[in-house]
Structures are given as C-alpha cells and as structure tokens.
Structure 1
Amino acid sequence: MAELDVLKNFQEQILQQEKFTPLKDSPHQKLIVVLKQHRFYKQLCIELYNAATTKAGKLKNPLTIVNPLDIVWKTNEPDELKFFSGVARFQNNATASKSAADIDALKAVIKNPLTLSFFYHNPELSKNVVAGSIVPVKVGWAVNDLQLFVNKKQDVYELSLEIKAGGTAYDLNDVEVKHDYFVLIKDNLYLLGKFDYVQVVQLFKQYKGGLIIHEAKYKEFHQETLSKLEDKINIYYTFIEAGTKEQIEHSEFNGLQERFVYLSGLDNYVLIEPVMKYGSADIPVLTKRQIFSVDKKGNSFAVKRNEDAENNFVALLLKQHPHFLEQLEFELPYFYLHKERFLDEDWFLNAFEEWESQGITVLGFNQLKGNKLNQHKAKITIRVSSGTNWFNTDINVRFGRKKASMKQLQASVRNKSKYVHLDDGTLGILPEEWIEKFSAYFNSGEVIPEGLITPKVNFAAVTELYQDAQLDEQVKHELSLYHQSFENFDSIQPVNIPAELNATLREYQKHGLNWLNFLDDNNFGGVLADDMGLGKSIQVIAFILLQRAKRTHNTSLIVVPTSLIFNWVAEIEKFASSIKVLIVDGSNRAKDVKQFHKYEVVLISYGILVNAITHISQYVFNYVFVDESQNIKNIDSQRYQAVRLLQSRNKIAVTGTPIENNVFDLYAQLSFACPGLLGSKQYFRDIYSIPIDKFKYTKRAVELQQKVAPFILRRTKKQVATELPEKTEMTLYCPIGEEQRKVYDTYEKEFREFISAETNDEIAKSSMHVLRGLTRLRQICNSPVLIEEERSFGGGSAKIEMLMEQIESKSDDHKILVFSQFVTMLDLIKKELIARDISYEYLTGSTQDREAVVNNFQNNKTVRVFLISLKTGGTGLNLTEADYVYLVDPWWNPAVENQAIDRSYRIGQDKHVVAVRLICPDTIEEKILKLQDVKRDLSEDLIKTDSAVFKALKKEDLLSLVS
C-alpha cells in the first residue's frame, strides 16, 4: 500500500494542470484592473484580479489577485508587454519617490491594449479588495496641457493653475487629485501626462486659493522660477499685451531670426538642441518659452515667436533621424543620440551638410568629449593638365575651410584609413570610394606637394582612372592620339633603313626598327626582348643611325657586361663603321664627361658605371641602352640604382631573357625603361608579383601582359627565323658506379639529416650551408674529385666516360661546345682531351684574350671542342660553327642553359643543332630536371619566352631533392 500511495502522490504532483489565467474575458470570469491606495504607505497601487461573474455579468466574490509577471509570457504584443510591466511596477508600490519612468509606466497601463475594466477601491467600504468594495471608473487619456495664469492686481501678482482635459479647462481647485498622478473629473480619472505636471500640481495644491507674489519679489520670482517654468507649461501673463507693429519695428526683434543647433554631451549621449535667435534672445525651439521686451516708454510687450519658421526647423530635424519623432513625446528641449550613432559618418556628415546648406549654425561639435572628427564632408576637385613628359594632376581636398595636404592624403591611403589628419588637429573623413581612387591615382604616378605627376607612358591609366570632366582639352587631345596610335600597333609607320647601315635587315628586324622609332616619336622607352641570337644589337645600331636625322644631340650610352664590350665594338665596326665609339674603361675617361658629345656611342661596363656614376650621371645622353638588362633585375642592387641615376631623353633595355627568376625581374627593367608604367614597387609586388608568382593568378598575368605589351617587343626564333635549322634537345643518362655511388649516398644522407632538423626560417638563415650541401652533391655527380675531402678518390666518373665517348664519335665531323658550372670539371675534361689528342679551346673567367679564343674556335678547323665555363660564356658569344652542345651539369634555372645552347643555335647557323644534357639518374640532378619542368611556365605566360623561373627553395623542396 505504501508504494501505491507514493505513486499516487507522485502522479498528482507531476500531472496536475496549472490553473489557466485568460488574457481575455470568459463567460464566467473576467480579468480586471484595480487602482487602490497602499494600506500602510498611502502610495498608488495597481493590481490585476480574476473576478467571477454572474450570469448578468456582474462581479461576485471571490476576487483572485493575479501576478502580471506570470501571464506576461503569454503575449508577444509590444503594447501588452508594456501594460503588464507597468502594472508590475505599481503592484506593491511602497516607495514615496517618484520619477518620469512612473509616468511612462502609467501611460502604458491606461492605454489598456486588452480593453480591461478599471475599478477604484474604496477602503471605507472594506479594507480588502472584494466585489462590494470596488467601483467602476473610467480612466481617460493623459492630461497634456497645464495653463498657468499670472494676473496683476495693484501691487501683487496672482498665479492660478488650470488643467486641460477632454478639451475643457478646469481650475485646479475644482478637481480632485488622486494619488498624485491622477485628477478626478466627473467620475473620470485623467493621468497627469508629464512628470513636470505632477510636480507643478503638487506645488499649487498647497495654495488652494492660488499663489500670491508681492510686486517687490516678482522680478526675482520671474527670473528664478517662471522663466524656467515656461519651458515646461504654458504661462499667460494677462497684464502684458502683444507688441504693436510700432513697438516691434523699433525693437531688436524686427529682423530675420537666426537658427542654431547647440551640441553638448551627456554621459554617452549627444544632445541636439535647436535654438532660434530672436534679437539677443536665444529661444530653445522645443520649449514654450516666451519673449518679452520693453519699449522706449518703459512699457512691457510680448514678442510673438515665428511658429512657421520654428515648425519648419523642427520638421527638418525630424527627417534626419527616425528616433527624433518618438522623442517628441517626452517634450524635452533637445533631441538626443548615442555618441556612436551621432558620430556615424553616414549620419552626422549628411546632417551637417544639410544644416550648412540651410544656413543653420552648429556650435559645440569640437567640444564633444573624445571627438576629433571634422564635421564637414570632403569636397574633392581633380584637374588633369598636360606637361612635357607628364600629366599633371591637381588634387584639392577640403573639409570646410581646411585643405588636406598631399602628404596627409598619402598617409591615409597608405594606411588604408578613411581618416585624414588635418592641420587643426581634426580628422577629415574620406568617402570609401575615394580611398580606392586615390590609391589608384598614387600608384599610377608620383606624388608631389601640389598633386600628382603621371608619366605619359602610363596614358592608359589616366584614361581609366579619371573622368572626362576632370581632363583639360589638351589632355583629351593627347590621350586620343595615344590611343589611336597604340590601338593600330600592328600598322606602325615604317621608316627608311639608314644608308650607313652595312647590312640587310630581316623583316622582323625592320619591324623592330619601326617599333623603336614609334616609341621614340612618343618619347617612350621600352624593352627589346627578342630571343637570343635574333640580332638585337643590329637593330639598336640601325636605330642609333636613324637618330642622326632626328636629333642634333645624338650621343647614346650603351651599358654592357664586361665580356661583351669587344662584341659591341666588333658589331658596330662591322655594320656601322661611321659610328664613333668611346670605350670608358678603368682610366680617368669616366670623369671627362665633357668629351662625350664628340662620340655617337659611349660604351661602358656595369662595373665601371657603378664606380663612376657620380660623374656619368652629370651628362644628359640622347639614349641609354642597357644590354643584357637582366643584370639590373634586382632593384636593390648597385647596378640598378646606378642606371636609374643616368640622365637621357629616353631609355631602352635590351635582353634575351627579361624574366629569369620571377615577375619582379620585369618590374626592375621596365621601371628603368618606362618609369611610372608599373607604379611603385610595393604596388607591383602586391598586385602582380605575389598573385602571379605565388598563387599563379592567371587574370593578373593577363592584365600585366596587356599593360606591358606595347613596350616590350619579344620575338622567338620559331616566330621570325624560319630559316634556322631545327634544334634537338636530348638527355643522356650516366649511371654512376659503385664507388661513386657510395660517396654520393654518404653526403646525401648527411645533407638530408641537416635539412630535416631545420625549420624553414633556420634554413633561410643558413642559406650558405644549404648551397654548399647542394653544390657538393652536384659536384659528386660530375666527379668526387671536385670536392676537397675526396681529392684522393680513385674511382671513375660516369659523366666523363660518357662525354669522351660522345666527343670521340663526333669530333671528326662536328664542332662541339662543352659547358660546365665548375671550372675544376672542365680541367678534368681537358686532361682527357689531351690524353686523346683532341684539340680544344678553353674559356673561363680567368681567360685574358676572349676574342682570340673565340676566333680560334670559329675559324680554326683543327679545333673541335670548346670547353666553356657556364658563368663566363653563357651570354654574348656567337659560336655558330658548333652544332653539338653538351651541358655537363644541369643548372637550376633552364634559362641559363638555354643561353648556353643559343651560343650555337642563333642567326648564322646553317646546321642542325643538338643539345645534350648529361644526367646521373637517382641523384639530385634528376630531381633538378623535374624541378625545371615544374617551374617553366611563368615567363611564357607573360612575354612568350622560353625562360624558366627558379624560386627560393623551401624545406619540402630541399627534401624532395634528396629523398
């Protein structure tokens, strides 16, 4: 039984139904509102009751009190939620203090969204709330108007208060005040709709016959009390009449009223007070303050406020923010916004602009605590005019009377900030779209104090960035001409070949000459980037001759690697012997720049230029040609910095491999030849270099190709030299023997363990150790003898054995070039050639007479083999007698290998060229070949070259080489 009792008790507690309190009346009960006085504290209390009803609908006992917080959850309607909250505030109200929040709560209650019946408890009938002690009462809408009348009688002033309710005015003495908040008029309760009204009514209730002020005290009373009370209620001074036309005309109030917006801070809010200035009187528009004056006779008169102007003023503010309309209900003398909302530039800048356009004066903005913003919208004007080689952009940015300097604008754009620090300490706000525009402007040219200068070579950017209305007529005309010329780029006007040129130019070389002349006509530089062996030098020589007819000052500087000085001298002598050449060598000739005008060509090496740049940069050349311009690809190098200091009317970069390592190689050369075309180095790195090199972003590569296309002329052998024989490239694998493999494996293991133990950052810091380790492995592939520790190695070299077999089988009928990075490897090969009595030539960095060595190989039929250091002979040599090229050791960058092959495979070659790479399988060399294939696409995408790119190796790359 006990268990059954427990179970029954459990079910009763868990399964019992909660008593339902309806929000609406039901046939047998209704929800009512009872207003009463607290039993002990005499304060207003409001309670909800569930009351039983008779069939006739009359109340009957019992009345059950309802907690409004228990039923507030049954509604989602905002007005109903406020109603229950208001009841809850007064349900057990025991506090004597009152506040404006009480009025808000009572307004929510008397709004009565549920249309409940209101009752008033009469404690004389019963101290308890029962059906017989409550009487129905009508609760009217709030009293929203008090009228205070000031009458003058002899030497006293009488003050009486009237309450206006239901459209009728009642003397305060004729109504009953209930619980301080309500007045009872003919069985209707009216709420005093403002907290100020509650206070005023309480004051006047103390003086049932009205308030009497003696004349002697009236002036002080008016200043200290009545004038302030005018902001809250209507006060009628019956003894003062409205000013006559004559009184107004002879007073300070006979003129237009000024409008002001006074701003002030209150905690985290900004108060916005509209004020109308009548003469010397500042009248808050949202108050009922009156204006009085005295005429010349000492008679007081009232000045009527301009209601139409004030209403229009308020209407203007109400349109500016949705919160202002609901704030009117509180009858405050100001509107208000949270500081964050106020200082939202999407709001306050528009508000200030409208105030300013309406002639409204704003005071107090700069005094707001923590505010440094400038209240004026940015006024931006742009004007582009034409200079000699530049487009000049005048940029005027003003915030009110403050103008932003170019330095200030540039700092903001660089920091990607919309705030501009102005000289007065305020922060002007740039619109978001102008931050992007200014960034594009600054990237297209050079910032100067007055504005911006954009090189005319960047004319396409000017057309793209600026609106037509911002360009003056001369700029529009020039841009039109540039676009016409460059859109018809394939139909460049041909020029006559200079008669002094002792050569017949091929068609593509004629086009190259036309292209150089086209750039010259427009004062633009460029990059002549034809494939190696296509005769770039003869095109330059022809162009120098062409300048004779166009320029009186025709001294040009040609900067070349030291190894190519004799090549240029020989080419000029061969094709244009009339050109007078000065070679600037290590003597004092570099200092004697005044003698340069006597020569048509000044030849100088990169090394001499760097040492003598202080003197060379003083002379203004007609042209500066930089040959093998990949030598200036590093913008931090002394070579690059030196050529950028050179002065000339124009500049041309000449190279067969414009990109060797990455896209930034192109930036360095074009920033020399076409300054300003590609923007700043940071801009180029962010917009092109990183997206293309790191992320293979095709869209950026296409954009860059289109941008540089008119200024880079690049033709490959396949495109223009169809008479060239085919070139065959092949790989010969040379398996290494047991002894050589043992040495290789030992060093590979040591290197792999070193790399595995390092992080990428540590590897970057240990680049010399990494390079040494890689180089050792490559040397061992050639021959272990090449490294110091293995000089006593007695085993053979698989490569030397394979190479000797190849040379012995081909040297009778073919001339052969052998390239190696390692001079010590060339020395080992040289020993084998001597042992086999095979004649050879030998070219390394220590060779004294390069020209004699080259001529002997080219012209001496008995010399069958040419041993060449890759670094020394990879560029600038014309070795068309050879038709076999052996690359003993693969190089990281295939562009370097292509340069070596092109010593033979070039214009003038009439034989089939075979290029052979010697590779040891299962070694680092095989991995290098794979790495070359992975890295080969970059420059082909940009400027159609066969060059390859080798980037910095990361840890995973290094491990893959020795895995």
Structure 2
Amino acid sequence: MKVSAAQPFQIIYSLYQHEYLGYLFESFVIHLDDKGKLTLQHQNISAKNAPEFKEGLDTTDYELIELMDSMQQVSVIKHFNKKNVKPEEFFPKVYDDSKGNELLQNEINGYMERRRAKVLERLKGKRVFEMGNDGEPAWKEIEVLENKATVLFHFRRNEDNTHYFPTIKYNGEKVDFQYQGAYIICKNPAWMVLDGKLYSFEKNVDGKKLAPFLNKKFIVIPKNVEETYYNKFVAPLIASFDVYAKGFDINTENYDPIPILTISELAGNSSNLSLFDKNKPEQVDSGKMIFDLSFKYGPFTFKANNIGPVSVTVEKTGDSYTFHRVKRKLDDEKEIIQFLQSSGLQMRNYKITINKTTAFAWLDTNREELEKRNFRLNQKGQSEKKYFIGEYRIKVEVKENIDWFDIHAVIQFGDYEISFKELRKLIVKKKMEVTLPNGEIAVIPESWLTEYSELFAFAEEDEDGVTKLKKHHLALVQDLENGNLAKVTMSRKLESLKGFEEIEDAASPKSFKGELRPYQKAGYNWLMFLNQYKFGGCLADDMGLGKTVQTLTMLLAQKEAGAEGASLLIMPTSLIYNWEMEAKKFTPKLKVFTYTGTNRDKDPSKFANYDIIVTSYGIVRLDIDILTEYYFNYVILDESQAIKNPASNIAKAVRDLNARNRLILTGTPLENSTMDLWSQMHFINPGLLGSQSFFKNEFLNPIEKKQDEDKMRKLNAIIKPFILRRHKSQVATELPEKVENIQYSSLTPDQEKEYEKVKSFYRNKILENIENQGLNKSQLLLLQGLTKLRQIANHPKLVDQEYDGDSGKMEDVILKLDNAIRDDHKILIFSQFVKHLSILAEHLKEKKIDFAYLDGSTKDRQGQVERFQNTPELKVFLISLKAGGLGLNLTKADYVFILDPWWNPAIEAQAVDRAHRIGQENKVFTYKFITKNTVEEKILALQKHKRRLASELITTEESFVKSLSQSDIESLLS
C-alpha cells in the first residue's frame, strides 16, 4: 500500500531473519494518523525512491537505506554471481549441507557481517522494530540502548574441572540474559536483542563468546584439556576482556620493550667459499635472509604481529597456573617499527625476506642506531651455520705513480683481515660469502659490489703481486675520492683534468699561421694536456668547429718541441685533400706525405723524413703488415666511427699499429650502439672500459635494455676526461645562466584544516573504492581527489569560493613578487589553475600594479606579449600553462615563478624556456613553489623514485595516475 510523501509519515527499520543470510534489516515509510501514530499503511523504501521522502530523512537515513539495499538477497547474488540467478536457485545450492560451497558461504557471511555492523552503529535515535511473521514491519518496537553494556568473563577452577561463563551489566545493573529468549543478531562485534532492547558491548566483544550461554549456565572445561584450553582460549580472553578468576592467578606486569631481530637463512641456499681453507671448492653463493621482529618485555617475548594493548603468557608450576598479563607499550613499539621502515626495512607482517648482501649491509649501516635503541640480534637455530654480524670495513688508498696508480687496501671482518687480491677474486666472480677462521660466514656487502666493481674489474697485478690501475682510469679514481670510498693522492696537474676549464694554457707554436678562436685554443690546450700524460683522447666537436686545425696545431707544437717520429693520420679518402690544404694553410712547416694510390712507395723507413703521414682506412687495412713496422708518434683517426664495430678488419688493424700516442676525431662517437663507444675508447686507451664481454655485461646491457641511469652515469664519468665535445650552440652566442630554486611553503592553520578534511574524505573513499572496484576503476576518483588536494595546497579558494582564510603559499608568492618588482625585475608567473592566477590578479589590482594576462580565453595573445616585452614599467605577466607553455618569446623577463608543480617536469622546462632562450641577455631565476607536507611534495618525491615516469612518459595527469600502485596512492594520501 503506497504512502504519500505529501501526508505525515515516519521512516522505520524492521529486523527479520533470512533462512540463509541471517538477520537483515529493511527500511519502510509508514503513514501517520491524525495523532501522529503509526498506521498499517506502509511502503518499502530503497535508494531509488528515497528522494521522494527527503523531507523526513537525514544523512544517516540515506546511509542506512543504501546499506540495507546492499544486504537484500538480490543484491547479494549480484555481488557474488555475474549470471542472472533467482534466489530460490542460488541459495539452496550454495548452502546445501552436503554439496554446498563452503568458501563462498564464508565470503557471503563476511560480507553480511560487515554491513550488519555498519547498520547497527547508525541506528541510535532511529525507530527499530521486529518484523511480524505476516510481514508487518512495525510489529514489535526495539529500543536501541544509548550506552554500551559490559561483559565480565568468569573462570572457576576446582579439582575436577573449570567452569566458564559470562555476566553482563548495563549501567551498573546485572542483565539476566540466560534462558530469556535473547538472540545475537551480529557476531563481530556482538549486538544482542533481549526483551525488546538492543544491546551493544564495550571492547567489541565477539558474539560467538556470548551465544553458547543464551541457553546454558556455564561451560565445563575438563581437567585433561585445561592446559591447552588455558593457552589457546583463556589467555587471549584475558588479554582483551575483563576476567574474574578463581583457582588461578592473573598478574598484571609492566616492563619496557626491548626490540629483537631474529635472523635466519631462507632454506635452499648454496654453500660458501672459504678464503682461509684452500682445499674447499669454489662455489657461487646466493640466497636470502629472513628478519623477524619481536619484543621482549622482562622475561616474556612477543611476536610483533601479536598486536594488542595486552599480551598474556601462561606459566604452569606443578598443578598451579599463573597468567602473566603484560601491558604492551604500543607507542614505543610503533616508533621502533617506523625506524625500521624509514631505514629501508619495509616489513610485511613484521617480517621481511631480503638478499643476504642487502641484509648484512643494512645491519652494518644501521649498527650504531640499533645499539642506541637497545636492539638484540638473534640468530635462529644453533645447528644452522652462523653468520658474522659484527663490524666490517674496507679501507682503500690510491697513490699516483709515474705511469699508473698504486692500490693499497685493507679489508676487515671483525678481527680477521682479507687481502684485496683475494677479495677481488671473489667479487669479480660474484661470490659473496666467505668462511672466517672461527667458522662464521661473512657476507660481502652488496655496496662493495656496486661501489668498487670498476676498481675490482680494472685493477691489474704486476709480477710482484702489487695491485695497480692504469692512469687513464683517472675518472674512476676521482669517483672513489668523491664518494669517500678511497683516500687519493694525486698531482695537482692530473686533478685539473676533472674540470676542462682548469687545464693550463699551453703556448701556441711559433710557426702557426692564423689565429685560433678561444674555444679552438681551449681544445689545443686539452690535446697538449693529454700528450703530457700519454692519454688517448677523442675530439668530438660539432662539424665545422675546427677539429682539423686544433689537431694540426698540436702536431706542430710537437715538432717544435722536438718530438721524434712521424704521426699517422687515417681518414676516409674524401677527406685527404682537405687535410692537405688545411696543413698548407695553417701549419706549412709540417712536412706532409700522402701515403695513397696504387703506386705508393711501401717503404716505412722513409716516414722518418716527414712529420705527418696521411692515408685512408682502406690503405691501412691492406698495408697493416707494413705499417706496423714503424713506431709513430701519433696515430690519429678522423671520422673514427669507421671503427665502431670492434670485430671489423679495420678496427683490428688500427689496434695493431704502434704509436706513442693515439687520438680520434669524430662528430658522432655514438651512432648505433653503446658498443660503438667501447671500440673507439679501446683504441685510444686500451683497457679503459675493460674487456668487450665485461663492457657488454656491465654497461651495454644495463644501459640499452634496462635504461640503468646509474650505469650510464658511471660510464660517462669514466670516459668524460678523454672526450671533448662542444656544440655550436655552446661556442656561438651562449645563453646566460639559468638559476633554479625550490621555494617551500607551509600550510596555514586554516588551510591545513581544509587540507586534512578533504584528504581524509578522499583517502577513505578512494581506498574503499579500490577494495570494491579495483585500482583501474578508481583512477577518475583518485585524479579528482589529488587535484582538489593540489588546489588546496595552493589556496583553498580554488575549491571553496566562500573560504575566507589565508594560504601559506600565496603569502610567500606575494612576498617574493613584491620584492622582485621593487628590485626592477620582470616576472613570468605560470599556473595550471586559472583560478589561482585570478587570486593573484586580485592582489595586483588592489596594489594598483599593472600586469599582462594570458589564458585560454585571451583573444589578443600577441598584444599581451608585445605589451609585456615593450613596456618597461609593466613587470608581471600571469600565464596559464595550457595557453602559454609553448610558442611565446618573452626574453624581457628574468624571473619565472611556477606556482604549482606539474606532473611532467618537461612541461615546466618549456614554460621556463619562454624567458631562457636566444635573445635573453640576463641571468634567469626560476622559483618553483611547493607546499610542504602535502601531495605536491609527495608527487615530486614519487617522480624522483619513478625516474622513467618523470621523463617524457608522463605527459598528462591521467598517465601519471595510471602509473600509480596502491602503495603509491596510500603514500600520497597519508
């Protein structure tokens, strides 16, 4: 019978029992008579028709209706079964006593219990009824009690058994609930109906602990099972609830927690290698270690995952029992767990399995902090092999000698010392374990493998067993020094190769004709420096910058300094004439012999009469046996990419040539593969990048297949001193300096309140959405939430126009802007939020400061640009990202403010380039404004963590959001 929303009505909630789903609620509206009493005229209400009765509903009613809808049998079937199945087919099949689906039953029961609990906690102040057998919704009213009842569990131990039963009190009065027709409608937590009253309980009592006593006085625990029962049932009960005991003792005890890390080896690891027992076979070791956290309180130890304010241990002495009720200091435990997580030990369920090398490196890195926090380190199992967990160190010293670096190293594990030679053998073979004389296993830390891998790979031993490093491994030595990994003694001259600008000026040869440009003179200085230290080099300037003239100048200086022997210049045939002409023009004193043609004189003894022998790659390949008979001062390859394939005949041929010095000239040292680089570097400085197989494994594969940036950085560091490359843009009209700054702002109290409110709302909504619908279907909601948080981090007015509080970032922007204007700077201000620009525009108008403005709605873009460029007194240009990120030339600005960070750093760079471009004469200062402790700061951290995402792959907000994992999302919203 329909109820009219225009007539007086009352919403009520009716409780009934479903054959399979347990207790359910349904929502109804009931027509009221003239006296305001309920009538028999009622109508079921759901989320679909609830808006019709909105005048009589509040927010809680809408929540209750939605929850109750989700509990109806049709909704349950739809949630757990994609097919359209009728209830009379679905439930009997799932709940069949012999063939039913027990797993699905448990899933459904859990689903229903969660919703029952949510419904019950919202019923206070609502009218609730038991439904009559005839379907009458308001048959018998149930009073929802305001306060929670308390439960006391009683145990009475005697000679034969133990009696166990609970008592219930409400407002201090005992509740007689046994044999009174009481029933439990929700088990977790317990809700009980008794005599028309609905009871809830303190401490979230489990309904399963009350249900047996609804029609039973007590439970008897026989003597023969009491010890098991006391440990498995009574102890947890004492930990969580109020217990009265007779016949055994309950002692409440207080101690400070001592954290314990139990270390054990994951089964299945291979055997180790002993440096001290030469008879043991060498085997590669790999494996993992398990760290397990627990806390020791006095004599009691509890697993960290045994969480609760109280833990209980049972002690049996003779025939007596004592329950030790230990109060846990959860704040102290939480602080310990946070320390472990922040130090890199990301435990799950307070346990973690990690690589051995990582595990022991972590122990060593955090040793002082672990001792300070009174950690105890236990090794599990006496029969298993014992690992060395003491202090270890490596001390490396590098000293410059005449033609090499001497390596001195001391490696210690506790009191035991290992030679560098032996350790190097292990690490080169990736063997990470060693047995110490006392039987303990020492694990070589992973950090040594990464930090010293090149040193171990490139170091050589002479006949006396002394470890040496070729001098062209200068960058590797500098890397060790910069990383505080070695003490380095090096001459000031050699150190100057760190920065090309520091190289000493070399006198130009007297007979040079013409004038070197400044950058050409710098290149000549560099070539002279390489000569002094007998380093090979690669002059890789852009085409047209004069590689030829720089090389000829150096060769002329060699002649004037009395260098012996001719130098061999090898190049493509097409370049021979050019070299001849350049030599004639700039260095006419150099005697040039062109070794080409079918009738060439194949007598290498005649080379001594010349300064330069010019030839082609083809001739070298044919005449290699002849050319190897002469010892050249220099062998120089022009367009050296000709030897990029190390297996080619020409690459093999030029490596066989004998020379005091080697150079290569190329505009493209890297054409197809990183191996191009190895081949050319191996020619000028053999061994610089290790063997071909080493280079492939250590650099080529990680860089080309995995985009390993750390390996790329290391490779660049090794080759950098021996490659000089200048682009035309560098040596033409150079742009002024660009200075980048990050300006951190703090949320104001009002702003923080708004931020936390929105964060809490979206965090709960998003995580619940992820749980119910999955990560992919939550992306739109996540993007919406992140956008709102970013806007509030800027200014809450971007979200709420009525907000009348302040913004920490806006205060900082205005302060910085006022100072910049006062100091006569011109400023570009970018934001992706037009509302953000509008707030700043209001401030400028109040201050009567003129400004140019550009967003998507601006009609005369060029007019705004010209006004800013051509009006000296106009200092500020407000620009939206989408409208002004590209295509603008604003070289009059010398300050760029980025009000909010965008997802893709490349977009920021494009914005800054509006000012920092050809035509700019001033130093450009950029300020990126970031609000601390907000999603802005976390997005930047996440981009650094996800390096690939911070490049061109992140082009939109949507693509950024799609890349996030659930842990990333939880971090952003934490």
Shorter-normalised TM-score: what interval?
0.3 to 0.5
Which has the higher Rg, Structure 1 or Structure 2?
A: 1
TM-score (norm 2): 0.42
